[in-house]
Structure 1
Amino acid sequence: MESSFFNRTVDETLSALGGTKAGLTSKEAAERLQKHGKNALAEGKKKSGLQVFLDQFKDLLVVILIIAALISMVSDNVESTVVIFAVLILNAVLGTVQHFKAEKSLESLKAMSSPSAKVLRDGVRSVVPSAQVVPGDIVELEAGDMVVADGRILENFSLKVNESSLTGESEGVEKTSDVIAAEKVALGDQKNMVFSGSLVTYGRATVVVTGTGMDTELGKVAALMNRTQQRKTPLQESLDDFSKKLATAILGICVVVFALSLFHHMALLDSLMFAVALAVAAIPEALSSIITIVQAMGTQKMARQNAIIKDLKAVETLGSVSVICSDKTGTLTQNRMTPQKIYADGSLLEGDDLDLVNDVQRLLLKAALLASDATTNVEDGTSIGDPTEVALVMLGDRIGVDEELYRRHHPRLGELAFDSDRKLMSTLHEIEGVPTLYTKGAIDVLLDRSRYVLTREGQVPMTPEWRERISRINMELSMEGLRVLAFSYRELPEVRALTLEDERDFTFIGLISMIDPPRPEAVQAVADAKRGGIRTIMITGDHKVTATAIARQIGIFREGDEAVSGVELSDMSDHDLDERLERISVYARVSPEHKIRIVEAWQRKGKIVSMTGDGVNDAPALKAANIGVAMGITGTEVSKDAASMILADDNFATIVKAVVNGRGVYTNIKNAINFLLSGNMAGILSVLFTSILGLSMPFAPVHLLFINLLTDSLPAIAIGVEPARKGLLDQPPRDPNEPILTRGLMLKILAYGALIACATMGAYFIGLNADNGGAGLAMTLAFSTLTLARLFHGFNCRGIESIFRLGLTTNRASLGAFAAGVVLLLAVLFLPGLNALFQVSPFTMAQFGWVILLAFLPTVAIQIYKVIHDAVRRKNR
């Protein structure tokens, strides 16, 4: 196509849309569109900082704290009132900052998987991010692409587009490139226009960009919409439910404590302060923030390991994955197709031995180059296009044939784009004055449609003997793990629009085989997955024999396993599939409907299924799976949009790493909850014990807030970054229906809390009965012991093993958190300004020595139990 035609069409189209009326260049138009987009977004409904800040006070537990602050105010307890309100405001500020940081983080993650576009600029084809596309650019679209801007179609090859993002209709819309009046273009004719946000489901087209950003049809709709709200994850919903139950329980116990205090003839305000102390002790103020931080750090860690999490639910669900249905190409293999052996004129030879003097071999190469769209740059080693087609172009590069030169001499006059159901692609060219249709595709399909075989003597009939010979060669190549493409041609009487009926009565030319070697790390990853109770299933479009050979090399296909083709799967009833499901490791030549059926069959067995894919035809199955995983490099925008996780390196090993990280994140969250709630349990039991006995308060509310929000938060965050243990893959997948607060965890929380409470009460009675003691000293020693004991307790909650097996220095964050907590405690105990605020009474160094000893004893007891438990567990292995 001539560049002058492009320029004229671009100018006409932009002029019709008002883009050049003001004399704007494409760059200036883009800048104006970008500015317009920012203004439109600013005008859209979006939560202000004040709204987000006020939202932080809606939680029932926060309301209880506000009531506690008001009671402190009434009782003239100024210090507690100031601290409680300061804590509430600080928590709201941090929550607000966290909200906007999360939005910014989400935008950055979305940018990592944002669509790109293939553009022609100054005759050079390149791939650019969608944000760099400007009005006037020439964009090439093909099946699987997301349309990144509104545009007018210049050339159309059976283009079909899904415009459900605009119309709500899922059925694809067929497009045309008919030239129409400029004023009609300005109105956005549906037939010769494509719109941003729609998905190309079939065919190819060349488009001139007419609108970008907020100036697109989708942008106009987006400007009127509220920003999408993130749904709560199952874990968040579980914790919200726990918070409501905890708040109800706290109110009930506060009433009981208040009544007990009055029963012991305590003053009304003192009784109220007892209830306030209990409420503050019971509420895990930092729990929500800690869990959010742990999840955020987990997703960032996964992103650094090339697993981009689009949906937070995926972090939790990953720990429960029990079946991975993986695409072969690019995921289990390197996605670097290289040509191997070829078959033509009755001979099987290496690709490097291709001889252009041989008419059949020369025609085979011509068909391979013309019936493909890939391009390569020999100088810098780069390529653009489908890996299979890149391999075909590489075959020409090896013997010095330039694909661009071939295509320029024989321009494409028509095309039937590749379709996964049809398994063919055809292009029409004029060869020495004769309209010739070149077709490439699956050998079984092409053999059935071929009437002749090309030899150096000319065409000969496709006899059963020829068919058997070609099939045997194909089988031999497939058993070597090679992918085989068949090529044929047909001469047409005239150049005309092609139909599917034209793909028949072919003359068979030959076969080209290629290999996509297994990734070395995929073998180990499959073995690791199996050790973790995760079954790996290969689903591929390759021939069954080829797929089985690769699966056997990787370790997916083992003795006694079965491989099933799409045809065989279609003949199975759901009952038959359920019966054989556990034995089938490889599915070959399957359709999109088959992939969904496989996923649903495993889900019927109660399995959590992860499905990987990169093509348009994978999107429905990605959506149906519990965890849809798209390829970040080779994946189409359709598959990325449907997935909940994107692999930035297209590597199967990354999925297994993500599963381990998902298990690790969930384990760390449970450990952090164990730490926070067992510490709070110690405070609750201490307050209950003293109220039942009619003694003075063991803590002031300000003490408990200091512990919950400062000294507890640091160890909890450190627990959240605990490295994932190797043993995580020695455990079966987690039951997704299991509540986070299991019976075992609740017993641990109660036992750990009771131990710490005993130590705290020991310090309390030392202060109460000391010669220089009384209620003030008892409170100071109890507060100091509880704080230090909970800091020590952070090491207990790092994992189920003892600290000797975990290693004291393997999580340096825990050491830093402990040191920071000790510094904060010492500051409160020894700095004059903080003494008064925290109601610290004078104490002796001997009494402080008792505090250290009593605070350390619960950890000693817990670690002794863990050492014994470790020994028993090792003995039973």
Structure 2
Amino acid sequence: MDQNFFQKTPKQALEQLQVTSDGLTSSQAAQRLAQYGPNQLAEGKKKSVLAVFAEQFKDLLVAILIAAALISMFSGNLESTLVIFAVLILNAILGTVQYFKAEKSLESLKAMSAPSAKVLRDGQRLEISSDQIVPGDIIELEAGDLVVADGRLLNCWSLKVNESSLTGESEAVEKTNEAIEGEQVALGDQKNMVFSGSLVTYGRAVMVVTATGMDTQLGRIATLMNQTQQRKTPLQKNLDDFSSKLAMVIMVICAGVFLLSIFRSHMTILDSLMFAVALAVAAIPEALSSIVTIVLAMGTQKMARQNAIIKELKAVESLGSVQVICSDKTGTLTQNRMTVQNIWADGVLTRGTDLELANDAQRTLLKIALLDSDATMDHETGASVGDPTEVALVQLGGRFGVEERAYRTQHPRLAELAFDSDRKLMSTLHNTDDGPTLYTKGAMDVLLERSTQLLTANGPVPMTPELRAQIQQVNRQQSENGLRVLAFAQRPMKEARLLTLEDETDYTFVGLISMIDPPRPESIQAVADAKKAGIRTVMITGDHKVTATAIAKQIGIFGEGDMSLDGVELDSMSDEELDQKLPHIAVYARVSPEHKIRIVTAWQRRGCIAAMTGDGVNDAPALKKADVGVAMGITGTEVSKDAAAMILADDNFATIVKAVLNGRSVYANIRNAIQFLLSGNMAAILAVIYASIAGLSVPFQPVHLLFINLLTDSLPAIALGMEPARPGLMDQPPRDPNASMMDKPMLTRVFGQGLMIGIASMTAFYIGLNQSGPALASTMAFATLTLARLFHGFNCRGKESIVKLGLGSNVYSLMAFGVGILLLALVLFVPAMESLFLVSPLNGFDLLCVLGLAFAPTLLIQLTRIFQGR
């Protein structure tokens, strides 16, 4: 539907759609249904289980392992072949399960179009399924109805619609069938339109359907979600980069080792192939992806206990490198409930908590607020029903022990004029001690203009220009602070009768009540903590700019030199202008789903890892686009939860900051685990290369290395993932997402520590070789390498010495060490294991040598750290 349609009169709209006010005929509806198809939202193409399973084998490292398994099979080493293939299949199954858990289609969006609707066809009023609605249908709406399609209002009576699923704001929007001015109108300002997925909360209306299915605002959001591509996390990029480089290095070195070995006259081609296989198995960290997955999963469990429910494991790691949080205002930074802040009566501005019932003007102000509203509250449970603004007024009465129901019983309502967006007033007539009295609330400027007196503690006084100026000044001051201001007035009536619009005049002005959706107390501290951690918080909201900016200042988001924009201003900016001003924009107000994606994309263009929070359907595309999408668990729609990577069980911004701390800790633990795995593998690589160059027999059988990599290494690596968060993590800036995990210090540690363990292993190999031959030498080298890597797990807990870290501060590392020792003992001392793992019996001297050599690298590393620490 073209934008000019919003400016057309009802008659012009009907002519454009070629319908009459009686609606379509059955044949016309059938033709349009055939033209437009069922009113459904697009569903993304799903991959088959087999296709997803096959994708798990595309990695180059996996191809190298498959080649190693085939070579091992042809060489007669069936045990190694079976173990390698078992590992590959297990990893593929794990990856397939994760894919189907993480990827969900837009079923929630489809479900929102399922309700029925009341339409006029062939001059009759019918109730049909929403998927049979077509453009041109005339639909009747009343309170409680879910709007099933986008439509232009033909007529309405005091209509209010909750569009929170689209705009993100919980306050109901008043609608009118009047044509609106201007060419560009924000979604929340299209007063003569209603949109699919909205809820009618008050009044009645008749609309003509202008768009269904994917042509609706809801459908556009579905299209955005389908078009939005998720980005890889920094860890995924690092691991992908590392894997590709490692694969190339392995291929080159394996080829070199094979050629080097084959030209030695005493070695057969089969022996040379076994060297290449041993090197490939030693170099590839088979358990790396599984270890990373397990550590991330454990991080999710810890976060869940802190109300941050992680849907996608990669979000844990991304949280650790978040540099900007684009946060929704309502319910996340604020409490999602209107609260009275200040009252003005009898010439005095006071806080709502300081209202004095002994003051006639203030008591009358509260009386009007309770009687001239429809909200109710259960004063025992605190549960309330009604418009958020009126609920705030009822809660004000409850604060002083005044129940609205008792007031309303004492002063029954005789007549009313419902709120109207044109009049900006609501009036009710009541029986009072002074006779029938008209009570009115509404916009300050409208009521002040119609008032001739002002109520004071001493009774009504004439409304002078000075008093008008004072009231206007108070209103202006409150509005500039982001408060919503309501004015209240009264007028005595001669008799009880039906009200007319002419009755709303000649008022006695009583006072003002200002209210706001207040910030969560913990949000202020959380924003400060985020700032300390180098994380920028940006507010993105559908609220008005003045209100949003005022809240942002209170919370600490908006500071000196910052600026705020609304959707129209954002539309007028090019991407270059936005990029230039982006660091200084703290608040975005009155924004659309496209705006939110544009804001997130702009931060990502700067190389930043961006988190985005939201709870409505309108937030879903941006949640999916962000590096970390965060949905609200309490107020969030199912669509937003589907699109997000993390869900806040408490809808609290402070929980995001806690999750960032956990994310940083998890990343540090993963890095330590990778260092542990790679330094151990480096020891095996150096040992195999040395043996090949020196013309020695293979120091480790492939089954030895697979046993180390998959069993004895996995447990300490997982234990490293359980390391508690170190103090000062949130005092550091976010890490550079483009920085390589394998930086120079990391590579130095991996090579240096691997070299020490490799020397110890080859020393044990030579001792066994001199004693009994290659079989004992291989067994001693295997036992030394395994035990040395178990000890090395304590070195990788952190950069400090184990004395400073505390040996018992991570009990899981002690448990992993104990289980590793037990597994090694089973292999070495249980006769049934000797043939499976190709080991020879060890005597007491052999065991002492293995123990001493295995512990030597850890002793040297720890003594060095203690010396450096002092």
**TM-based fold match above 0.5:** yes
Percent same amino acid at aligned positions? 54
1:659 CA displacement: 1.1
Look up the match of 2:529: 528
Q: Relative to 1, partners in 2 of residues 1:720 and 1:66: Cα closer, same or farther, differing over 3 Å?
A: same
Q: Relative to 1, partners in 2 of residues 1:750 and 1:162: Cα closer, same or farther, differing over 3 Å?
A: same
Look up the match of 2:197: 199
In structure 1, how many angstroms separate the alpha carbons of the residues matched to 2:552 and 2:288?
48
Pairing of 1:817-856 with structure 2 (within 5 A): 817-856=816-855
Contact 2:488 2:512 in 1 (8 A): no
Look up the match of 1:69: 69
Q: Relative to 1, partners in 2 of residues 1:870 and 1:659: Cα closer, same or farther, differing over 3 Å?
A: farther
Q: Relative to 1, partners in 2 of residues 1:92 and 1:646: Cα closer, same or farther, differing over 3 Å?
A: closer
Pairing of 1:803-814 with structure 2 (within 5 A): 803-814=802-813
Contact 2:234 2:738 in 1 (8 A): no
In structure 2, how many angstroms separate the alpha carbons of the residues matched to 1:518 and 1:229?
33
Q: Relative to 1, partners in 2 of residues 1:636 and 1:551: Cα closer, same or farther, differing over 3 Å?
A: farther
1:816 equivalent in alignment to 2:819: no
1:471 equivalent in alignment to 2:473: yes
Contact 2:414 2:430 in 1 (8 A): no
> Secondary structure of 1:676's partner?
helix
1:783 equivalent in alignment to 2:782: yes
1:68 CA displacement: 2.2
Q: Relative to 1, partners in 2 of residues 1:141 and 1:440: Cα closer, same or farther, differing over 3 Å?
A: farther
1:256 CA displacement: 0.9
In structure 2, how many angstroms separate the alpha carbons of the residues matched to 1:413 and 1:64?
75
Contact 2:158 2:418 in 1 (8 A): no
Q: Relative to 1, partners in 2 of residues 1:474 and 1:595: Cα closer, same or farther, differing over 3 Å?
A: farther
Contact 1:488 1:510 in 2 (8 A): yes
> Secondary structure of 1:740's partner?
coil
In structure 1, how many angstroms separate the alpha carbons of the residues matched to 2:615 and 2:408?
27
Look up the match of 2:859: 860
Look up the match of 2:159: 157
1:791 CA displacement: 1.2
Pairing of 1:740-819 with structure 2 (within 5 A): 740-770=741-771, 773-819=772-818
> Secondary structure of 1:592's partner?
coil
1:83 CA displacement: 3.4
In structure 2, how many angstroms separate the alpha carbons of the residues matched to 1:229 and 1:854?
52
1:58 CA displacement: 4.4
CA deviations on 1:815-871 (whole Å, 9 max, x unpaired) are 111111111111000001111111111221111111111111222222233334444
CA deviations on 1:168-212 (whole Å, 9 max, x unpaired) are xxxx9x999xxxxxxxxxxxxxxxx999xx5328976799xxxxx
Q: Relative to 1, partners in 2 of residues 1:97 and 1:736: Cα closer, same or farther, differing over 3 Å?
A: closer
In structure 1, how many angstroms separate the alpha carbons of the residues matched to 2:740 and 2:535?
22
Q: Relative to 1, partners in 2 of residues 1:410 and 1:768: Cα closer, same or farther, differing over 3 Å?
A: farther
> Secondary structure of 2:749's partner?
helix
In structure 1, how many angstroms separate the alpha carbons of the residues matched to 2:679 and 2:55?
28
Look up the match of 2:678: 677
In structure 1, how many angstroms separate the alpha carbons of the residues matched to 2:528 and 2:271?
64
In structure 2, how many angstroms separate the alpha carbons of the residues matched to 1:543 and 1:77?
72
1:692 CA displacement: 0.9
Look up the match of 1:182: none
Look up the match of 2:718: 717
> Secondary structure of 1:284's partner?
coil
Q: Relative to 1, partners in 2 of residues 1:336 and 1:194: Cα closer, same or farther, differing over 3 Å?
A: closer
> Secondary structure of 1:698's partner?
coil
* Counterpart code for 2:197: L
Q: Relative to 1, partners in 2 of residues 1:469 and 1:849: Cα closer, same or farther, differing over 3 Å?
A: same
Contact 1:427 1:437 in 2 (8 A): no
1:598 CA displacement: 7.9
> Secondary structure of 1:486's partner?
strand
Higher mean alpha-carbon deviation, 237-246 vs 713-722, is at: 237-246
Look up the match of 1:129: none
> Secondary structure of 1:765's partner?
helix
> Secondary structure of 1:511's partner?
strand
CA deviations on 1:445-500 (whole Å, 9 max, x unpaired) are x479956465247796684652334424764x789x89452236899x99999xxx
Q: Relative to 1, partners in 2 of residues 1:809 and 1:744: Cα closer, same or farther, differing over 3 Å?
A: same
Look up the match of 1:399: 402
In structure 2, how many angstroms separate the alpha carbons of the residues matched to 1:866 and 1:147?
68
Q: Relative to 1, partners in 2 of residues 1:234 and 1:206: Cα closer, same or farther, differing over 3 Å?
A: farther
Higher mean alpha-carbon deviation, 265-274 vs 314-323, is at: 314-323
Pairing of 1:445-464 with structure 2 (within 5 A): 446=445, 450=449, 452=451, 455-456=454-455, 463=465
1:753 CA displacement: 1.6
In structure 2, how many angstroms separate the alpha carbons of the residues matched to 1:504 and 1:591?
34
Contact 1:203 1:416 in 2 (8 A): no
1:510 CA displacement: 2.8
Contact 1:478 1:546 in 2 (8 A): no
Look up the match of 2:239: 239
Contact 1:544 1:564 in 2 (8 A): no
* Counterpart code for 1:710: L
Contact 1:450 1:462 in 2 (8 A): no
In structure 2, how many angstroms separate the alpha carbons of the residues matched to 1:666 and 1:510?
57
In structure 2, how many angstroms separate the alpha carbons of the residues matched to 1:596 and 1:544?
23
* Counterpart code for 1:293: I
Look up the match of 2:127: none
Pairing of 1:322-721 with structure 2 (within 5 A): 322-324=323-325, 330-332=331-333, 338-339=339-340, 341-348=342-349, 353=355, 362=364, 365-366=367-368, 370=372, 374-384=375-385, 388-397=389-398, 398-402=401-405, 413=418, 415-416=420-421, 426=424, 431=429, 440=442, 446=445, 450=449, 452=451, 455-456=454-455, 463=465, 465-472=467-474, 475=477, 483=483, 485-487=485-487, 510-514=511-515, 519=520, 521-536=522-537, 551=553, 561=560, 590-592=589-591, 608-610=609-611, 612=613, 627=628, 629-634=630-635, 644-721=645-722
CA deviations on 1:536-565 (whole Å, 9 max, x unpaired) are 56778699799769956x66678xx35767
> Secondary structure of 2:809's partner?
coil
Q: Relative to 1, partners in 2 of residues 1:837 and 1:438: Cα closer, same or farther, differing over 3 Å?
A: farther
CA deviations on 1:370-423 (whole Å, 9 max, x unpaired) are 55x754211222234676543211123332222987998657756549xxxxxx
Look up the match of 1:9: none
> Secondary structure of 1:455's partner?
strand
Contact 2:283 2:682 in 1 (8 A): yes
In structure 2, how many angstroms separate the alpha carbons of the residues matched to 1:231 and 1:720?
24
> Secondary structure of 1:695's partner?
coil
* Counterpart code for 1:468: Q
In structure 1, how many angstroms separate the alpha carbons of the residues matched to 2:569 and 2:452?
31
Matched positions, count = 744
1:762 CA displacement: 1.1
* Counterpart code for 1:864: L
Look up the match of 1:320: 321
Contact 1:678 1:750 in 2 (8 A): yes
Contact 1:474 1:484 in 2 (8 A): no
> Secondary structure of 2:404's partner?
coil
1:297 equivalent in alignment to 2:298: yes
* Counterpart code for 1:467: A
> Secondary structure of 1:800's partner?
coil
Look up the match of 2:121: none
> Secondary structure of 2:698's partner?
coil
Look up the match of 1:736: 737
1:596 CA displacement: 8.4
In structure 2, how many angstroms separate the alpha carbons of the residues matched to 1:46 and 1:244?
28
